[in-house]
Structure 1
Amino acid sequence: MDIKVGGWGEPKDATKETQGICDQVKSLVEGKTHKIFQEFKAVEYRDQIVAGKNFLIKIHVGGHNYIHLFVFRDLPCNGGRLELLGVQQHKTKDDPLEPFNN
């Protein structure tokens, strides 16, 4: 496995870990977007090792609608807390996961 500190990894299929992150930040996403999501399924992600880990996650929210999340997870020794750094709405299945700031 080739891990480069600071660089974003290639897109990968979502895992139980990434779905778990999404489940934990869903209420924050709903608050930020002022929407209630009946469907909230992680489909793809990229990660970046920093002093913790950043995640870009593509979420299927029903129909042809997707959103992208930017989430930071602190190191386990610092509590492993999650922080929602950004949300991009109005995405499609084919939109690439690219770093963004909100």
Structure 2
Amino acid sequence: MSSVGGWSETFSATPEVQGIVDKVKPQLEEKDNKPYPVLVAITYKTQVVAGTNYLIKVSVSNSTDECVHLKVFQSLPHEKKGPSLTSYETGKTKNDPLKPF
């Protein structure tokens, strides 16, 4: 885990992180105005705030190394809210470092 306010190191994606990606997929498709048939979480970082921010590197193709970086906010459990896509960056590859944006 990360210290409060700072970003954690980069971790390999877990089923929990993939679940977050699956939940924000409709938000990404609406904001970017295009479908994403493939969204596979690769790596992620976390930042503890009043909830948790996630930076997630997501593969968007089975045949290329094209990726999208997602910034997702997950509120505290007692708020009973799903994850929210706060921003994203397209045009990334699997080699691009995952860094705050």
Instruction: Tell me which amino acid in the other structure corresponds to 2:56.
Output: I
Q: For 1:1-102, list aligned pairs within 5 A.
A: 3-62=2-61, 63-100=64-101
Compared with structure 1, are the counterparts of its residues 57 and 9 closer, same or farther at alpha carbon in structure 2 (3 Å cutoff)?
A: same
- Unaligned ranges ≥5, structure 2: none
Task: Give distance in 2, aligned partners of 1:15 and 1:58.
Answer: 12
Task: Give distance in 2, aligned partners of 1:39 and 1:69.
Answer: 14
- Once the two structures are TM-superposed, the CA of residue 80 in structure 1 deviates from its matched residue by 3.9
TM superposition score normalised by structure 1: 0.92
Identity rate of aligned residues, in percent? 43
Number of residue pairs matched by the alignment: 99
Task: Give distance in 2, aligned partners of 1:8 and 1:80.
Answer: 22
SS at match of 1:42: strand
SS at match of 1:90: strand
Task: Give distance in 1, aligned partners of 2:17 and 2:69.
Answer: 13
SS at match of 2:48: strand
TM superposition score normalised by structure 2: 0.93
Task: Give distance in 1, aligned partners of 2:34 and 2:2.
Answer: 36
Instruction: Tell me which amino acid in the other structure corresponds to 1:92.
Output: T
Task: Give distance in 1, aligned partners of 2:60 and 2:2.
Answer: 30
Instruction: Tell me which amino acid in the other structure corresponds to 1:93.
Output: K
- Unaligned ranges ≥5, structure 1: none
